Amino acid sequence: MNLETKILKAALERLCLVVPKKGTLPVLENLRWRVVRGHLELTATDLDNSLHISMPFTASAITNSVDVLVPAKELYQAVKTESAPNMEARIHDGKFEVRANNRTLVLPATEPKNFPQIPDGELNLRGQILASALETALTKALFCVSTESTRYSTDVVKLEMRDSTFRVVGTDGHRLSVVEGAARNGSNSAAFSTLLLRSTASILSKLESNGESGWVQVSTCGSEQEFILFVLPDGSGLIARHGLGQFPNYENVIPKAPLEAKVVFQREELLDGLTKLSATARKAQNAAVKLELSKSPACIKAENDGTARAACC
């Protein structure tokens, strides 16, 4: 089978986002390489997230069915430095061979009998989200998501869809990020919300669709609708397990009345002021800084053992 190197390289790069960095199950270090109806179907999973990518062949489609497991990271390391426009892949005698520029890579090819089954079941379309807005929203929310699970679900990202708007919310109990963007309702006009695992949000924020703009289709699936399916503009699909637990009632801390005024900082000046105060703040029992916005210029203060430092922006 002949494949375009650039397309294969991009697909493997995205699939490796799902392959676990620390192998708990050796089978998860592989991707599933299948030929179905003249297309190459590639799948990677970490049990919580499963990414599926379909690729065309550059030459005439083969008729023989192929279904094997191939080491994901070893294959990507070999392909990402290849300069040939096309590559040829062959599978025989339990071996997977990739040839290009008179160079051959040989990897083991095993049967997929131990590869986890991808969740299926009835699809329930929930709506569509503007792809570029979703990527931006997840990136802005992830920085304040907790890395540890506590009494509330602060190690997840909340996704809400209502009318023509979606909202992504992240918090660790101290910081809060709320980002909104454009959406389209599905057949079910009721508002929809779900919790995304931190790993799911991270993968989605990095799944660039080869520069394509468009909409991400959002559906629930599974026998009990316990999974959520994201179909990207290029047809790639990510199936993820719902996050569990109770998300904090973040709306209680959002001001209900319009803000009377706002303060605009120059990014460089604000970062410079925070850098100057970071040493003092780290030594304090409560490593926090105080913003005084009633004065001009605005002032940032940090205290430690009664010693105060301030920087004006």
- DSSP SS3 for 278: helix
Which helix (DSSP H) or strand (DSSP E) does residue 268 occupy?
A: helix 267-283
Spacing of C-alpha 76 from chain mean position: 19
pLDDT at 106: 92
**pLDDT averaged per 10 residues in sequence order, the chain, 313 residues:** 89 94 86 87 95 81 77 92 88 88 89 88 88 93 84 87 92 90 76 93 84 83 90 94 90 76 77 78 65 71 58 59
**Residue found under tokens 């919300």:** 193
Token digits of residue 87: 């590559």
Token digits of residue 208: 């660039």
pLDDT at 15: 96
pLDDT at 306: 46
Q: To 5 degrees, how large is the angle CA 5–CA 11–CA 12?
A: 90
Token digits of residue 104: 């051959």
pLDDT at 190: 77
DSSP codes, 63-120: -S-EEEEEEHHHHHHHHTT--SSEEEEEEETTEEEEEETTEEEEEE-B-GGGSPPPP-
Question: Which domains does the chain carry?
Answer: 2-114 (3.10.150.10), 124-253 (3.10.150.10), 267-312 (no CATH)
pTM of the model: 0.81
pLDDT at 212: 58
